[in-house]
Amino acid sequence: MSTSIFTNQNTFKLLNEWYHLMISQKINEAAALKKEINERKDEIKDDQNLLMYYSLLDFRYKVLTNGLEVRKNSFEEVESLFIPRDNFLMFYYHFFKGIHLTSISSFVEAREHYEKAERLLDSISSEIELAEFYYRTAAFFNYTYKPLEVVKRGNQALELFKKQIGYEINVGLCKNLLGGMCIHLEQYEESEEYFTSAIDILQKQEASDLILRVRNNIGWLYASQNLSSLAIRHLSEVVENMPNHYKAILLLAREYHKLGEVEKVSELVTKGMEICNQNNDELYKHHFNILNEMNLNISTERIEKVILEGISYFDKEELYEYTKEYTEKLGVCFYNQENHVKASEYFYLHHKAGQKKIEKGALK
């Protein structure tokens, strides 16, 4: 890693220490160091490279402290400062831009930035920072259903973090991520083992908020097996302690929908939509809109309309798993109405989406 571009090496080292505290999820220590760094803002402003690095890390701090509220404009300060001068800063620009775009569900564009960052990996010499890159890109591929990439990168991150002292929380988060991938692969026993291990590690570190992240995934694990009462128990705990966790709210609403709890679903959908509108998360807006129409069940045509709106977005972002899921639901709806032409059309689209999903997850 070349750091000669930074005229004030002491401040650079302080910024780098701040980043490592963020990676290791030491929120209180990161907050304290941020205050110390902010006292040096004048000298940071005198060095454009330091200012750029500070702005990148300030965005990363927002992800650490409130990742669910990252919005479209959250990267604007970085964008206003970015002038490509050095591979080190270019790597972090593209890496963090990928994190930003993933957070707002712009997955195709996020992938482009992760790929650009990966081509600059040689500019990073720290194993800790390398592990963080593998972990974040594994999480991205988990969102976008590329299981082989998740397994490869998730294990790369896990092995690198295991070698470091003070990164036990990261080991737990890697196991949580790999457990989520096992749900996609319907390897439920392995998933539960990963989650149990993750919670054990995080409990020892007293990382209560991160334990809730694992509980959300355990709720998803039970939901995937139609064990609604167990799913509701875990997801309710998450929502109670993290009221703005709209992903848990969606999972919880879906389980109540399975049980026919129309009013409860409506209440949760309204709450989830309010949060998504504030954050402008297009992916979850579609999920909530579809669930709302399925819950109201006024007409199959209304359900079809919102699902087709969702599919337009899912296909644009190459989220074929969701296209597959919702075309099957439409096929069943029309089959139950004995509209066999429409049912056949959507079952065929379900099949096509499945093929695209397989192609996307294949080795290249």
Nearest in space to 41 (alpha carbons), one of 29, 55, 27: 55
> Which is more confidently placed, 128 or 40?
128
Q: What is the pLDDT of residues 227-286, one digit of tens each?
A: 999 999 999 999 999 999 999 999 999 999 999 999 999 999 999 999 999 888 999 999
* Beta carbons of 1 and 124 less than 8 angstroms apart: yes
3-state SS class at 227: coil
Does residue 357 register a pLDDT over 50?
yes
Q: Number of H helices and number of E strands within the chain? A: 19, 0
Q: What is the pLDDT of residues 295-325, one digit of tens each?
A: 999 999 999 999 999 999 999 999 999 999 9
Phi-psi region of 105 (alpha: psi -120 to 50; beta: other; left: phi over 0): left
Q: What is the pLDDT of residues 143-166, one digit of tens each?
A: 999 989 999 999 999 999 999 999
Phi-psi region of 25 (alpha: psi -120 to 50; beta: other; left: phi over 0): left
Q: Where are the domains of the chain?
A: 1-125, 126-206, 298-364
Q: What is the pLDDT of residues 335-353, one digit of tens each?
A: 999 999 999 999 999 999 9
Which string of DSSP letters, residue by residue, matches 259-307?
TT-HHHHHHHHHHHHHHHHHHT-HHHHHHHHHHHHHHH---HHHHHHHH
Predicted pLDDT at 1: 45
Mean pLDDT of 12-21: 95
Mean pLDDT over each residue of the chain, to the nearest integer: 93
C-alpha angle with apex 352: 347 to 354, nearest 5 degrees?
95
The residue type at 224: S
The CATH number of the structural domain formed by 1-125 is 1.25.40.10
Cα separation, 184 vs 329, in Å, equals 18
Statement: 126-206 belongs to CATH 3.30.1690: no
Cα separation, 205 vs 132, in Å, equals 19
Does residue 5 register a pLDDT over 80?
no
Mean pLDDT of 40-50: 87
Cα separation, 73 vs 63, in Å, equals 13
**Sign (positive/negative) of CA torsion 115, 119, 120, 122?**
positive
Are 1-125 and 126-206 in the same CATH fold? Answer: yes
